[in-house]
Amino acid sequence: MKVAESYYRATAPGDSYPALAGRQEARVCIIGAGFAGLASAMSLMEHGERDVVLLEAECVGHGASGRNGGFVFGGYSLDEQALLATVGAEQGRRLYQLTLGAVKQIRRRIVEYGIECEATHGGIYLANWFDDPRVLDERQRFMHDYLGVEWQRISPADFAERARSERYFGALYEENAFHFHPLKYAQGLARALGAAGVKVHEASRASAIEPLQRTSSGGARSGWRVATAGGEVVCDEVVVCCGGYIDRLYPALAGAILPIATYVMATEPLDERLPQALTSQAAIYDTRFAFDYYRPLQDTRLLWGGRISIRSRSPEDVARLLYEDMLKVYPQLAGVKVDYAWSGLMSYGRHKMPQLGKLPNGVWYGMGFGGHGVGPTSLAGDVLSAALMGELSKIDQFAAWGLPTNGGPAGLLAAQLTYWYYELRDWMRQ
Ligand SMILES: Cc1cc2nc3c(=O)[nH]c(=O)nc-3n(C[C@H](O)[C@H](O)[C@H](O)COP(=O)(O)OP(=O)(O)OC[C@H]3O[C@@H](n4cnc5c(N)ncnc54)[C@H](O)[C@@H]3O)c2cc1C
């Protein structure tokens, strides 16, 4: 099977931005043009701060933000029960509500900046993989009682009709959620930033972040020098938003996240075969730890994602694995061609919550959004921009989750073993 890489990249070539050349001065330098970096720049810009340089090693949306499933919904990678267990019911509810605000904010930005990103406002189903109605009962009750959120119950018969699959045992429907072409959204944000005067530089990998003493008319003041191969940015504040692609940029940060891969594929256009699999425009994921996530695309392809691994795989291997997963749910799609398959790296802190804060030496960071980061990165933009403007109450809400070490290669192996353990548990339960 011969497949191409990213459907998103193939359908959204995007604008191009010049590499950083020579020296630039700015109040803020943000490193990484994924959703976290873009959202931080957007929030600064919307609050009147345009003296910002955004450096991207490759191109806008190169990382997880331009490769993901496109699900836009509330919540964090840390599930809601665990969130409330960690910080208590009141604070947990407040933090969850912030992610619903982020979903609203993404909708607003799509409209306000005219971003054409195939936003499909058809909601999202959480489908029950297990023949056990308590899974949905408990989740629905928890969402309602503790978070004030109404997820509609869909009976097994009704859901079998909507999803055209006998595999599930009913679902919960999150009406407020939607899905979109994430790379087009990232490119739309970059365009809005560029139009407002924020400087975006692609092919500009930050290679060093160094403290420096600057002199201004008021005397010496502290700041930073961010170096790239072709130039440098001298700035008052620096924000690192490099997600799972941070590599060795800043050990104090890189050592606190695990880069974990997950996979996505897109079928050929299915035309009249699509309604054989889905009668709704909603996106679907399921109740397993190792869940599938999929959605119809506007050109009648089915985009299918799943699996978590520390291994990178070829597009052909990804396509083979996900195709088998798809047939477990939709045997009627046997024989359809897979046109695209790719993988992306998520960044996980050990606690699975976003890591938003400032190192003791003054470097700001926003990372650790895991596999549930579209909403939380938008929220992170608000939190970080407020902090950069001196308002710390928002960022303090995330102080409970610091930068515990990722444990190096042993940490990665432990993550893979944990995933296999949960996969096995899912399998035994079904
Ligand atoms: C396949 C996949 C599917 C997913 N599906 C969903 C989903 O459906 N819904 C959801 O909510 N979440 C999903 N997620 C998670 C979500 O995409 C991420 O949490 C989120 O996009 C993280 O954004 P980020 O800005 O932190 O990181 P990224 O998007 O990875 O951005 C980091 C950027 O930093 C750049 N960079 C790295 N080092 C440097 C350097 N030295 N100098 C300059 N730039 C640098 C990288 O090139 C990259 O562009 C998925 C993730 C993956 C991988």
pLDDT of residue 408: 72
Burial tier of 270 (Cβ tally within 10 Å: 0-12, 13-18, 19+): buried
Q: Which of 189, 200, 232, 242 to mutate to test the pocket of ligand 1 (most atoms within 8 A of CB)?
A: 242
String of b and e for 288-311 (b: at least 16 CB within 10 Å)?
A: bebbbbbbbbeeebbbbbbbbbbe
**Closest to 43 in 3D by CA, of 378, 369, 368, 358:** 378
- 293 sits in which H/E element: strand 293-296
pLDDT of residue 221: 63
Burial tier of 415 (Cβ tally within 10 Å: 0-12, 13-18, 19+): buried
pLDDT of residue 3: 84
Atom of ligand 1 nearest to the CA of 38: 25
How far apart CA 128 and CA 85 sit, in angstroms, is 24
Q: How far does residue 56's CA lie from ligand 1's centre (Å)? A: 12
Q: How far does residue 108's CA lie from ligand 1's centre (Å)? A: 21
**Closest to 229 in 3D by CA, of 209, 201, 205:** 205
pLDDT tens sequence for the chain (430 residues): 678 889 999 999 899 999 999 999 999 999 999 999 999 999 999 999 999 999 999 999 999 999 999 999 999 999 999 999 999 999 999 999 999 999 999 999 999 999 999 999 999 999 999 999 999 999 999 999 999 999 999 999 999 999 999 999 999 999 999 999 999 999 999 999 999 999 999 999 999 999 987 666 655 567 999 999 999 999 999 999 999 999 989 999 999 999 999 999 999 999 999 998 888 899 999 999 889 999 999 999 999 999 988 777 889 999 999 999 999 999 999 999 999 999 999 999 989 999 999 999 999 999 999 999 999 999 999 999 999 999 999 999 999 888 877 777 766 667 666 766 666 666 666 6
How far apart CA 232 and CA 219 sit, in angstroms, is 22
Residues 6 or more apart from 347 whose CB is under 8 A from it?
64, 243, 244, 246, 257, 258, 259, 260, 367, 368, 369, 370
pLDDT of residue 213: 76
Q: Can you read off the two tokens belonging to residue 44? A: 């600064």
DSSP state of 4: B
pLDDT of residue 419: 65
Residues 6 or more apart from 427 whose CB is under 8 A from it?
none
- pTM confidence score: 0.95
Residue of the CA atom closest to atom 48 of ligand 1: 63
Residue of the CA atom closest to atom 4 of ligand 1: 68
Residue of the CA atom closest to atom 35 of ligand 1: 32
Residue of the CA atom closest to atom 31 of ligand 1: 34
| Domains along the chain with CATH numbers | 7-429 (3.50.50.60)
Atom of ligand 1 nearest to the CA of 293: 8
Q: How far does residue 290's CA lie from ligand 1's centre (Å)? A: 19
Residue 154 β-bridge partners: 171
Atom of ligand 1 nearest to the CA of 261: 53
pLDDT of residue 313: 87
C-alpha angle 107-301-419 in degrees, rounded to nearest 5: 75
